[in-house]
Chain A
Amino acid sequence: MRPDAVAKLTGEFGYATELHAPGELHGATVRSPVAAADLLGVETAEAMRVRGAYRVLTIADVPGARRVGVKTPDQPVLADGRVRHHGEPIAFALAETAEAARRMALLVRPILRPRPALLDPERALDADAPRVGPDGSNLVHRLRLAHGTARRGATGVRRRWRTGRQDAAFLAPEAGLALPDGAGGVVLRVATQDLHHDRAQIAAALGLPEERVRVELAGVGGAFGGREDITVHVHLCLAALLSGRPVRALYSRAESFGAHPSRHPAIMTYELTADPDGTFVSLAADLLFDGGAYASTSKAVVGVAHYFAAGPYRIPRVEITTRAVYTNNPVAGALRGFGATQVCFAMESTVDALAAELGLDPADVRRRNLLEPGEPLATSGQALAGVAAPASLLDALAAVPLPAATPAPGLRRGVGVAVGIKSAGLGDGRPEGAGIVLRADRHGVEIATAAPEVGQGVRAVLAQIVTECLGPVPITFADSTSALPASGGSKASRQTMASGGAALRAATRLRQRLGGATPVDLSALGDGTSIVVEERYDAPPTAAPDPRTGRGDPHIAFQLTAHRAVVDVNPALGTARVVQLVAAQDVGRALNPALVRGQLAGGTVQGAGFALLEEIPVDADGRGGAAGFGTYLLPAAVDVPEVIPVIVESGDPRLPFGAKGVGEGPLISSPAAVAAALRAATGRPVARIPAHPEDLATSHDPAATAPAAAAEEPAAVDG
C-alpha cells in the first residue's frame, strides 16, 4: 500500500496549504491588471494604512538576481519596470493576518503606462510586433530538421490543427511557509516538484550561497508539471529574511490558475503524403507554440515536440520546423505530456485524414508505417530501443471488447484510435541521475530521498525496490529536503528510473554490508547501531542532437502508448459523452501494477478532459478566464467512462528492473483518440481541441433556418 494512502483517504494528510508557525506573517501578491505596460512605480501608502499591515515588498527589495526561471532566468522576481502578462506579480504585501494582507494587495496601486499587447502568437515574429522577449526578440526557441529526398507521395493531405490552454489544475493551490533559520539563512516548506532547482533559484535571488537555503517538501496536492516553476518561493523567503518572522502564503483558486504555467497552446500545420498503398513518403510540419510572457520550459517543450512530431512512424522524408514565441499571454510551460501531447494530436489526426483520402482503414495505415523496434525515429534518427513493437499496442487495444451497450436513440457513436510516443527522462544531454540515502538499524530501514512525492507514488515504488532487495523489513521515510542528495525532481516521468535505480544500488550495497543474504537480519545490529549507505544512479547518457542536422540520440527511454476511445455525440447539439477509453502502454516492467494502472487511467481521463472540456480561454485583453472549477471544467465523476488500462511489458534492459517511467504516456495519445472518435461520430474535421459543441453538431434543422427577418423580430412583450 502507498505510504501516503491512509493519511490522504482519512483527511489527515498535511498539505502545504495548512502550514502555520507561531508569530507568522501572511503574504498576498499584488498582480498586474493588464497584459502589457511599463511599471512606473508602486504606491503603497493606502495599503499600509490597513490595520495589521507590515510591509510591501517590490523588486527594489530583492538583493540578488532579479530574474529567475526554471530553465531560462528571464522572469523577474517581482515586476521590474515592466509587466508582460495579466496577473504578473508586482509586489508582495505582508500583514499580521491573511485578510489584512489580501486587503493590502487590493490597495497597493501600481502606476502603469499601458503598452500595445502581443496576444496573437502568429504575429510574434512580425517585424512590427510589440517586443516581449527580454533581448528584444520574441523567439524563445527554434529547431529545424530536414531529412531525406524531396520525393512526395501520390496522395497527400495538408491540415492545420490547434490545441488549447490546458491547466495542471492540481487540487491544492500554491502555498508555502518560510522561516528564518536564525543564522542569516532561510527554510522554505513548499509543495514542489524539484527541491534543488527551487533552492538554486531562491539562493540566486536572495544573493545567498545555496547551503544557506533549505527547501523542505510540504504535502503536495497534485503537480503534473505545474509546480516546476517557482511561484511563492522567493517572495516568502525574502519576506522571512527581511522581517525575521515566519511568513506564509496561500493562493486562491483563481490566482492559482494564472500563477503557474499552462500547457502551450499550439498551432500546427501538417502535410503528409503517401503512396497509394498507404506507405508514408513525406511529412512537412510547422509547429508554433505560444510560450506566453516568459520562457519557463518552452525551450525543452520545443525539443520534445520537435523530435516526436512524426510519431513512431517510418517516414523517408521529414521536414519540421518548431518554434516557441513570447507573447503577452499567460506563461506556458510544463504539463504532463510536455509538447508530445500536442504533436500527437496533430500527427494522428493527419494520419486519419490521409487514410480517409486514400480510402484505407486508418488502423491498417498505421500498421503499415509503424516502426519496428531498433528502427530509427524519422526525426532524430535515434533507434527505437527498449520498447515493444508499436503495432503490438494496437493489438492490445483490439483485444479489448467494444462496449456492449448500444448508444441511446438519436446519438451517434464513433470509435477512434491513436498511437503516441514520448521520452521518459530528461535526456537531451542533461544529467539524468538521483541520489538516495538508506539508514538501517535494528528497527528497520529509513529511506531518505529528495524525490518529491507529488501523488505519483514514488515512495511506494522506492519502498518496494528496497524491500525486494532486503526482504520484508519495516520501511520509513525521512523528510524530503534539499539537504539530501539531489534527485533531479519529479518530472519527465523519470523517478522510477532515476531514484529507483539509486534505491536498487543502495539497497544492494546495504544488503552486502548486512551479510549478503535476503532477507537481511536487522536484529544483528545492536541498539544504537546503524548503517548508512548513500548511493547514486546515473541513467545511460544522452546527447543533444546536432543543431545543424537534427540528428542525435537525445532520449533515454521511450514511453509508447496507444488509446482507443468510444464516444457518443448528440448530432443536434454537438454535445459528446465518452463511453469507453482503452489505454495500452509499454511500461517496460510494471514494478507496481496497481500504481501503473492508476497512472494509465488518470492520464487517460486527463487527456479526454483536454479533448472535450479543459481550457483557459484568454480574452482580447490577455486575461485568463478561469476563476474556478465552475468555469475551468475538469472531468468529473459524471464524465469518466469505463477506462481500461492495458499494461504491455517489454523490459528495457538498460534500466533498473527494465522499468520505464510511465506518468506522461497516458496523456500523449488519449486526446488524439478522443478527437478521432469525435470525427468518426460526426464526420466533422475537429481541427481543434478542446472540441466545442459547435465543432461537433451535424444535423440540419429546418426550424433553425427561419428567414432572417423573422429571426430578427423583437420578442413581443408577453402578457
Chain B
Amino acid sequence: MAYLRPATIASALAARAELPRALVCGGGTAVQPAMNAGLLRPADVLDLGGLRDGAAIDAYGDRVRLGPVVRVAAAARAHALGAGVLGGLLRGFATPAVRERATLTGNLFQAPADLAVVLTALDGSLITASAHSRGERRLPVTMASALRPDELAVGLDLAVPAAFAYERLAVREVAAPTLAAVAAALLPGGPRAAVTGYRAGTAVPCPGAVPHLADPAGADGFAAAVVAAAAPPTPYARRSVAALARRCHRRIHRGDADA
C-alpha cells in the first residue's frame, strides 16, 4: 500500500493524478476506524492531514473560503465566520474529540454527510481542482460524489452568517446517527435553510421557508415550509422536523431553542 502525505495542495493534486484510486483521508475520523475494523482496505492512501496550506480560512467580502482540511471545531470558532455564530455545530455534530479532528470537507464524502445540511444552509459550494486542468470547479455540497478521478476537493466557499442555527434529532445528543436535522442562516444575500432526513440522507434546501425565517413571528410558516421540503413520510417524522425547524427559528431570533 502506498501512503502519501503531501505538504501542499499542489503536491496533493500531483499525487492524486498519479494515484487516482487512492483513498483520500482528511481528518481521519472516519477512515482510520474503518481501516482498523477491516471495513476499508484501500490499495493506497492519500493523507491530506499534513497540508501546510490546507487549513486556511480566507474572508473575502461577505464570504469565506475554507481550505480542504479546516477542522469542524476550528470553523466553529473562526472569527472569519463570525466567531461563535456557528456554535450550533459544536452542540450538534459528533463528539468533542471528533470535532477537533474531522474536516468540514471530508465530512461531505461520508455517508451520511451530516454537515451537508449545514453547508447548504450557508450557501456553500465545494471547490475542486485537478493537476490536469487549469482553474477550479464548483459543485453543490451535496455532490461530492461527482468529483472526477483526477480531482481533489481543495476548499469550501461559504457565506458568512449573521445568525445561524442547527438542530438535530438523534436518539441521544451526541455520538448517535442523525435521524433528521434542520439548519438555518441569516446571510447577507438573504435567509437560507436546509433540511435532511427521511430522504436517504440528502440535504434539501428549503426556498419556501426563506420569508418566514426572516420574520421573527414566522415560526409556524417556517416549520411548515421546512416540512414541505423534507416530505417526511410519517406523522411523527413530520412533527419532529417541524419541531426542529421551530427550534432553529427560535435560536435565530431569540438565541435559544427551548420548546
A contact set with B: CB distance below 8 Å:
102, 252-254, 408-411, 570-575, 577, 612-613, 627-628, 630-631, 633, 636, 638-639, 692-694, 697, 699-706, 710-713, 715-719
Nearest-neighbour CB distance to chain A for B123, whole angstroms, equals 9
List, in ascending order, chain A residues with CB within 8 A of B234's CB: 694
Q: How far is the CA of A672 from the CA of B207 in the complex (A)?
A: 45
Contact A573 B240 (CB under 8 A): yes
Contact B177 A631 (CB under 8 A): yes
List, in ascending order, chain A residues with CB within 8 A of B37's CB: 252-254, 627-628
Contact B174 A705 (CB under 8 A): no
Q: How far is the CA of A711 from the CA of B237 in the complex (A)?
A: 12
Q: How far is the CA of A207 from the CA of B243 in the complex (A)?
A: 64
Residues facing A in B21-51 (CB within 8 A) are: 33, 37-39
Contacting B238 at CB < 8 Å: which of A571, A633, A711, A713?
A711
Contacting A636 at CB < 8 Å: which of B170, B175, B240?
B175
Contact B239 A701 (CB under 8 A): yes
Contact A633 B172 (CB under 8 A): yes
Contacting A638 at CB < 8 Å: which of B174, B221, B231?
B174
Contact A409 B258 (CB under 8 A): yes
Tell me if B200 is interfacial: C-beta within 8 Å of chain A. Answer: no
Contact B207 A716 (CB under 8 A): yes
Contacting B243 at CB < 8 Å: which of A253, A572, A706, A713?
A572
List, in ascending order, chain B residues with CB within 8 A of A639's CB: 172
Given contacts A253-B37, A633-B171, A697-B239, A715 and B229 within 8 Å (CB-CB): yes
List, in ascending order, chain B residues with CB within 8 A of A575's CB: 169-173
- B212's nearest neighbour on chain A, judged by CB, is A703
Listed by A's residue number, 18 A-B pairs whose Cβ atoms lie within 8 Å are: A575-B172, A613-B172, A628-B37, A693-B236, A693-B240, A694-B234, A694-B236, A701-B223, A701-B242, A703-B221, A704-B241, A704-B242, A711-B231, A711-B232, A711-B238, A716-B207, A717-B205, A718-B207
Given contacts A572-B240, A573-B243, A636-B175, A704 and B38 within 8 Å (CB-CB): no
List, in ascending order, chain A residues with CB within 8 A of B169's CB: 573, 575, 693
The DSSP consensus for interface residues of chain A is: loop
Contact with A along B157-192 (1 / 0, CB 8 A): 000000000000111111111010000000000001
Nearest-neighbour CB distance to chain B for A171, whole angstroms, equals 14
Q: How far is the CA of A587 from the CA of B224 in the complex (A)?
A: 55
Tell me if B61 is interfacial: C-beta within 8 Å of chain A. Answer: no
Contact B224 A706 (CB under 8 A): yes
Nearest-neighbour CB distance to chain B for A619, whole angstroms, equals 15
Q: How far is the CA of A619 from the CA of B243 in the complex (A)?
A: 29
Contact B204 A704 (CB under 8 A): no
Nearest-neighbour CB distance to chain B for A338, whole angstroms, equals 26
Max count, chain A CB within 10 A of own CB: residue among B174, B221, B227, B237: B227
Additional A-B contact list (12), CB under 8 Å, known A627-B37, A633-B171, A715-B204: A254-B39, A410-B259, A570-B259, A573-B169, A613-B172, A613-B176, A701-B239, A701-B246, A703-B224, A704-B241, A711-B227, A715-B229
B contact set with A: CB distance below 8 Å:
33, 37-39, 169-177, 179, 192, 204-208, 219-224, 227-229, 231-232, 234-246, 258-259
Nearest-neighbour CB distance to chain A for B94, whole angstroms, equals 10
Contact B227 A703 (CB under 8 A): yes
List, in ascending order, chain A residues with CB within 8 A of B205's CB: 715, 717-718
Nearest-neighbour CB distance to chain A for B232, whole angstroms, equals 8
Contact A703 B223 (CB under 8 A): yes
Contact A712 B242 (CB under 8 A): no
Nearest-neighbour CB distance to chain B for A579, whole angstroms, equals 14
Q: How far is the CA of A702 from the CA of B222 in the complex (A)?
A: 12
Q: How far is the CA of A575 from the CA of B169 in the complex (A)?
A: 8
- A571's nearest neighbour on chain B, judged by CB, is B259
Q: How far is the CA of A670 from the CA of B221 in the complex (A)?
A: 42
Contact B220 A703 (CB under 8 A): yes
Q: How far is the CA of A630 from the CA of B33 in the complex (A)?
A: 11
Q: How far is the CA of A571 from the CA of B259 in the complex (A)?
A: 9
Max count, chain B CB within 10 A of own CB: residue among A574, A636, A715: A715
Nearest-neighbour CB distance to chain A for B120, whole angstroms, equals 8
Contacting A573 at CB < 8 Å: which of B38, B175, B244?
B244
Q: How far is the CA of A693 from the CA of B227 in the complex (A)?
A: 18
Nearest-neighbour CB distance to chain A for B40, whole angstroms, equals 12
Nearest-neighbour CB distance to chain B for A709, whole angstroms, equals 10
Contact B227 A704 (CB under 8 A): yes
Nearest-neighbour CB distance to chain B for A581, whole angstroms, equals 16
Contact A715 B171 (CB under 8 A): no
Contact B33 A697 (CB under 8 A): no
Contact A706 B227 (CB under 8 A): yes
Contacting B33 at CB < 8 Å: which of A577, A612, A628?
A628
Contact B229 A697 (CB under 8 A): no
Q: How far is the CA of A572 from the CA of B180 in the complex (A)?
A: 13
Contact A704 B223 (CB under 8 A): yes
Q: How far is the CA of A613 from the CA of B219 in the complex (A)?
A: 31
Nearest-neighbour CB distance to chain A for B27, whole angstroms, equals 16
Q: How far is the CA of A716 from the CA of B194 in the complex (A)?
A: 12
Q: How far is the CA of A572 from the CA of B242 in the complex (A)?
A: 9
Given contacts A628-B33, A704-B235, A716 and B39 within 8 Å (CB-CB): no
Q: How far is the CA of A706 from the CA of B37 in the complex (A)?
A: 44
Q: How far is the CA of A156 from the CA of B239 in the complex (A)?
A: 34
Q: How far is the CA of A577 from the CA of B174 in the complex (A)?
A: 12
Given contacts A703-B223, A706-B224, A633 and B176 within 8 Å (CB-CB): yes
Contact A638 B172 (CB under 8 A): yes
Q: How far is the CA of A699 from the CA of B243 in the complex (A)?
A: 9
List, in ascending order, chain A residues with CB within 8 A of B245's CB: 703
Given contacts A253-B37, A409-B258, A409-B259, A699 and B172 within 8 Å (CB-CB): no
Max count, chain A CB within 10 A of own CB: residue among B177, B221, B224, B235: B224
Contact A613 B242 (CB under 8 A): no
Contact A702 B192 (CB under 8 A): no
List, in ascending order, chain B residues with CB within 8 A of A697's CB: 236, 239-240
List, in ascending order, chain A residues with CB within 8 A of B171's CB: 575, 612-613, 633, 692-693
Nearest 9 pairs of A and B residues by beta carbon: A410-B259, A703-B223, A572-B243, A718-B205, A704-B242, A704-B238, A694-B236, A704-B239, A703-B242
